[in-house]
Amino acid sequence: MSNSTPAHWDEKRLRSAVKAAGVALWSWNVDTDQLDLDDQAFELWDLPPSDEVCFEDLSSRIHPSDRDRVRAAFATTRAIVGAYDLDFRILVGDAVRWISARGTGVERNAVDRVVLGVFLDITGRKQAEEGHELLAGEMSHRVKNLLNIATGLTAITARSATTPAQMAEELMERLTALGRAHDLVRPIPGKQGKAALLGDLVTVLLAPHDDLGAFKGRIRVSVPRMGVGNNGATALALVLHELATNSMKYGALSDPAGSLDVSCGASGDDLVIIWTERGGPRVTPPSAEGFGSSLIARSMSRQLGGSLDYAWDPDGLIVTVTVKANRLAT
């Protein structure tokens, strides 16, 4: 096979291929600090084309958390012989963009000490990686929660059952209900329209935790009749499921004398759900936010345009869940 470049690989064709691949070209004179960028590089960094660009012009746009690391890495290219690869974030307006800088260091004894390289926009790949990490963390968290809930359900069933057969039957009913609740906290691709009524959603989620069933015991629910869309149901179910799990582990539902009241009302364009626990062990704010808390806070903000407010009352936890009514309906 010949090592020569085919005749039809002229500069125009090569530049067209580079552009199609999303590759931005650059060179940096490490002695004069002069940067030469192609049009795609200027566009990638959101800079106006100019013949007078220095490293500091790019450095000022690097994410503050990455800036010192990138400066140090570029400084070391003066002594690098061979290839290098560096990933970092830049700020383009209010958006964060991930960049991969790849190139070759300064050759030893070179007359013109110039570093050559390319910039690649790897934002999509980084977002996918972050999504996979979040999904893995969420799955691990949910499995641990399900095991804790199953343990709690076994305990409350044992208190109310009088025979092993009755305990087995009631426990199976609770675990089956828990399975239905778990289905509500995962999105179902392709499903559109109304997923449930708000009251039905709350009933399915909380039924496994009630000792007497059908909210005849320590769980009281009062919500308006309204439809909840698939996306809204998934997000709200995740929030309520997490609150119920924490209550089962640490709050009112962990104590036979504890009670839970869930009420709901409108406030302008918002729907406000009040989650009130009473009669359980004394509660105090956690020393640090756990994965579950950060997960539901992110779900509230991104999917429901809402917020969570915790009141650590000595008599029990009170959580105010505020969501946009129009988001809940989607």
Q: How many domains does the chain have?
A: 2
Whether 264 maps to a domain, the answer reads yes
Tokens of 207: 């039924």
Whether 3 maps to a domain, the answer reads no
**In terms of domains, do 108 and 240 share one?**
no
- Strand pairing category for 219-222 and 259-267: parallel
Whether 197 maps to a domain, the answer reads yes
Contact of 134 with 127, CB cutoff 8 Å: no
**Domain end residue (candidates: 61, 90, 121):** 121
CA nearest neighbour of 99 among 64, 126, 72, 76? 126
User: Domain span at residue 214?
Assistant: 126-328
Q: Cβ-count burial of 161 within 10 angstroms (0-12 exposed, 13-18 middle, 19+ buried)? A: middle
**In terms of domains, do 184 and 316 share one?**
yes
**In terms of domains, do 184 and 224 share one?**
yes
Residue by residue, DSSP assigns 249-274 as HTSGGGSTT-EEEEEEEEETTEEEEE
- DSSP annotation of 207 reads G
**Domain end residue (candidates: 95, 121, 147):** 121
**Domain end residue (candidates: 105, 121, 137):** 121
Contact of 22 with 67, CB cutoff 8 Å: no
Contact of 24 with 119, CB cutoff 8 Å: yes
Q: What is the pLDDT along the chain (330 residues), one digit of tens a residue?
A: 445 555 556 666 666 666 666 688 888 887 787 888 888 888 888 888 888 888 888 888 889 888 888 888 777 766 666 677 888 888 888 888 898 888 776 655 444 677 778 888 888 888 888 777 777 776 776 666 666 666 766 766 676 567 888 777 767 766 665 566 556 555 544 444 445 778 888 887 887 777 655 445 688 888 888 878 777 777 787 788 778 878 888 889 888 888 899 999 888 888 899 999 998 888 888 776 665 576 677 777 777 888 889 998 888 999 999 988 888 877
**In terms of domains, do 169 and 142 share one?**
yes
Tell me the three state secondary structure of residue 209.
helix
**In terms of domains, do 63 and 28 share one?**
yes
Provide the CATH number for the domain around residue 147: 3.30.565.10
Q: Is the dihedral of CA 261, 265, 267, 270 positive or negative?
A: positive
